[in-house]
């Protein structure tokens, strides 16, 4: 057992009322606490590297009837021709930049300011703190009260943008139930991948802490709002799996984009089931 001294003042009955334990050791944990932040940092780094490559590629993101979730809705005039797809050239050719850069700011901003992802990259990259019961190496701690971290408070507004983006991706999934000739009532492997992706995206979005507060927050009596109470309960169940849904949807959106890339580039032939 590690020993140390205690600082503070003693109140009635000899109970310590203030101060902190002066423990010389950096932490008293004996498990491999560093594995979790390391895996988190590697996973997020891999996704950032992949998404950056795909966002700037500006190619191989559409193959009838599939469109990459990284490029939908396509807001640039330089988008490829996507019949019936969400193509709205609102920003011209944007100096020739990839149209993915015009839309990814919204889902990435939503995830970047997410409560779980904050914890993930604070621990994984900044070691603030590295893990529970492990002291952080920083001499000062200001939390999210100063710039730039005070910007994290706009998370709810990114949530409002995340809803229509998820709706458009749902529309893309509906369009995926066509064949290469535009005939309805067909499905391929890409259809199932896009369908699984949008289900996970909606689950992650609705599990958001902001969504839980919007649905059931600021109510004094749940008994007077039975519908909102029921919705709050459903969102609460999803919220309990927010971390798992965050990772699952992050992986699924990368898989969906990569599959469209393989099909669009001709590296893989999409099998049609019916």
DSSP string, 171-236: HHHHHTSB-TT--BS--BHHHHHHHHHHHHHHHHHHT-HHHHHHHHTT-S-GGG-HHHHHHHHHHH
Q: Are 69 and 54 in contact (CB under 8 A)?
A: no
The structure's pTM equals 0.84
What pLDDT shows up at residue 6? 44
Give the chain's radius of gyration (CA, Å).
Answer: 24
Residue 2 has a pLDDT of 44
What confidence tens digit (pLDDT) does each residue in 44-76 have? Answer: 999 999 999 999 999 999 998 999 999 988 887
Lowest model confidence (mean pLDDT) among 15-29, 141-155, 219-233: 15-29
The reported pLDDT for the residue numbered 17 is 52
**Banded model confidence at residue 99, pLDDT cuts 50, 70, 90:** confident
Q: What is the pLDDT of residues 189-215, one digit of tens each?
A: 999 999 999 999 999 999 999 999 888
Answer whether residue 110 shows pLDDT above 70: yes
Give the pair of three-digit tokens for residue 259.
């599959």
Domain boundaries, the chain: 39-264
Other CB atoms within 10 Å distance of the CB of residue 22: 10
Give the mean pLDDT of 115-135: 90
């Amino acid at each position: 057992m590690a020993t140390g001294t205690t600082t503070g003042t003693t109140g009635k009955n000899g109970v310590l009322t203030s101060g902190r334990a002066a423990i010389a050791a950096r932490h008293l944990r004996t498990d491999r606490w560093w594995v979790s932040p390391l895996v988190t940092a590697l996973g997020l780094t891999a996704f950032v590297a992949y998404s950056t490559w795909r966002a700037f590629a500006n190619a191989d993101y559409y193959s009838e009837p599939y469109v990459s979730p990284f490029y939908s809705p396509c807001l640039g005039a330089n988008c490829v021709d996507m019949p019936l797809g969400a193509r709205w050239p609102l920003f011209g050719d944007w100096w020739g930049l990839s149209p993915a850069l015009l839309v990814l700011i919204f889902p990435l901003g939503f995830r970047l300011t997410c409560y779980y992802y904050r914890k993930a990259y604070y621990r994984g990259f900044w070691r603030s703190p590295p893990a529970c019961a492990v002291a952080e190496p920083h001499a000062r701690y200001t939390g999210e009260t100063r710039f730039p971290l005070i910007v994290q408070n706009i998370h709810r507004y990114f949530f409002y943008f995340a809803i229509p983006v998820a709706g458009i991706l749902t529309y893309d999934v509906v369009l995926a139930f066509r064949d290469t000739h535009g005939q309805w009532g067909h499905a391929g492997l890409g259809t199932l991948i896009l369908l699984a992706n949008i289900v996970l995206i909606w689950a992650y979005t609705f599990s958001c802490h902001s969504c839980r507060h919007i649905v059931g927050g600021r109510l004094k009596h749940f008994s007077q709002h039975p519908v909102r109470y029921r919705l709050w309960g459903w969102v609460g169940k999803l919220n309990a799996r927010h971390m798992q849904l965050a990772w699952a949807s992050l992986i699924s959106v990368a898989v969906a984009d990569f599959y469209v890339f393989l099909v669009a580039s001709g590296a893989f032939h999409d099998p049609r089931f019916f």
